[in-house]
Amino acid sequence: MTKSQKLYFSLDVVLYPLLFVVFMWLVFWFEIRFGRDFTSYGIHPGRIEGLRGILFGPFIHGNLKHLFNNSIPMLVLGSALFYFYRPVRWHVLILGFLITGFITWCIGRPADHIGASGIVYVLASFLFFKGIISKQYQLTALSFAVVFVYGSLFWYVFPTDSQISWEGHLSGFCVGVLLAFLYKGTNTLTNKKYDWETENYSPENDPFMQQFDADGNFIENKEVLDQESENSTLKKDVDVIYTIVKQKKD
């Protein structure tokens, strides 16, 4: 198993998601500090200039609550992506970023769509579906953890609130599913192979299997039996030769 196929922690696992979140907060601070409003730089469907929102929109947020609600899942899910899916993490993040924004521009209402929630939905759906289809217990466990913590996100892919860009959520969710199946054949982890699964496995040489007799019964006093067997073998190998000497009569 190569290092890229092992689960190991490195600084970049948290660093890159954290930088993404920090940049979101810096943009929000800049708006408040200098009295600016970058909402017009969000994704605006139907307008050519609205395409710039694909790049800028995820870093713009309407208020502090909006920013906070996206920061925590972005950091948690982003770190999970970078830790568990190291070989494909940048592919998923960049493709999810661009494709989600473009689909939102295609299907969204004629309004300014801002916020990183579309990226959050990409991460959540990718982590869930990729873990389920991977058939690896670590990734499957991660899938259930995502559902347990962020399962309520599913309801916001529907138009429940006019103030929420459900189009961005739906786009991110679908893109995450698409990427999970796109990288279905990419094994980010190597399944452990036990000795009995190898081609050269021999039950006779297996210390564990040697604890059982031919009928599958456990040998409780194997060491005693081995010693007796060894002693018996030694006895068989010893030849005792008797010489009879007749005593002469005077």
Contacts 24+ apart (CB under 8 A), 35-42: 38/114, 39/112, 39/114, 40/112, 42/112, 42/113, 42/114
pLDDT at 68 over 90: yes
Residues 6+ apart with CB under 8 A from 189: 5, 6, 7, 84, 134, 136, 138, 139
Average pLDDT of every residue of the chain: 84
Question: How many C-alpha atoms does 189 have within 13 Å on its Cβ side?
Answer: 18
Confidence (pLDDT) at 216: 64
Q: How many domains does the chain have?
A: 1
> Average pLDDT for residues 84-109, to the nearest whole number?
96
> Average pLDDT for residues 67-76, to the nearest whole number?
96
What is the distance between the alpha carbons of residues 136 and 147, in angstroms, rounded to a whole number? 17
Residues in the chain: 250
On whether the CB atoms of residues 163 and 69 are closer than 8 A, the answer is no
Confidence (pLDDT) at 163: 86
* Residue 236 placed within a domain: no
Confidence (pLDDT) at 215: 64
* Residue 45 placed within a domain: yes
* Residue 17 placed within a domain: yes
> Average pLDDT for residues 73-89, to the nearest whole number?
95
22: CATH = 1.20.1540.10
Residue with tokens 């459900």: 166
Confidence (pLDDT) at 2: 46
Phi, psi of 43 (to 5 degrees): -75, 120
pLDDT at 92 over 90: yes
Confidence (pLDDT) at 160: 83
What is the distance between the alpha carbons of residues 109 and 91, in angstroms, rounded to a whole number? 28
Enclosing domain of residue 119 = 3-182
Q: What is the pLDDT of residues 32-42, one digit of tens each?
A: 999 999 999 99
Higher pLDDT, 206 or 124: 124
Question: How many C-alpha atoms does 223 have within 13 Å on its Cβ side?
Answer: 0
Q: What is the pLDDT of residues 153-200, one digit of tens each?
A: 888 999 988 889 999 999 999 999 999 999 987 766 655 555 555 666
Tokens of 154: 């599913």
Confidence (pLDDT) at 228: 55
* Residue 202 placed within a domain: no
Confidence (pLDDT) at 190: 59
* Residue 232 placed within a domain: no
On whether the CB atoms of residues 78 and 139 are closer than 8 A, the answer is no
Q: What is the pLDDT of residues 211-247, one digit of tens each?
A: 766 666 667 655 555 565 555 554 555 565 656 666 6
* Residue 188 placed within a domain: no
Residue % of the chain over a pLDDT of 90: 59
On whether the CB atoms of residues 10 and 89 are closer than 8 A, the answer is no
Q: What is the pLDDT of residues 26-64, one digit of tens each?
A: 999 999 999 999 999 999 999 999 999 999 999 999 999
Q: At what angle are helices 117-134 and 137-150 packed, to 10 degrees? A: 140
* Residue 200 placed within a domain: no
* Residue 52 placed within a domain: yes
**Coil, strand, or helix at residue 185?**
coil
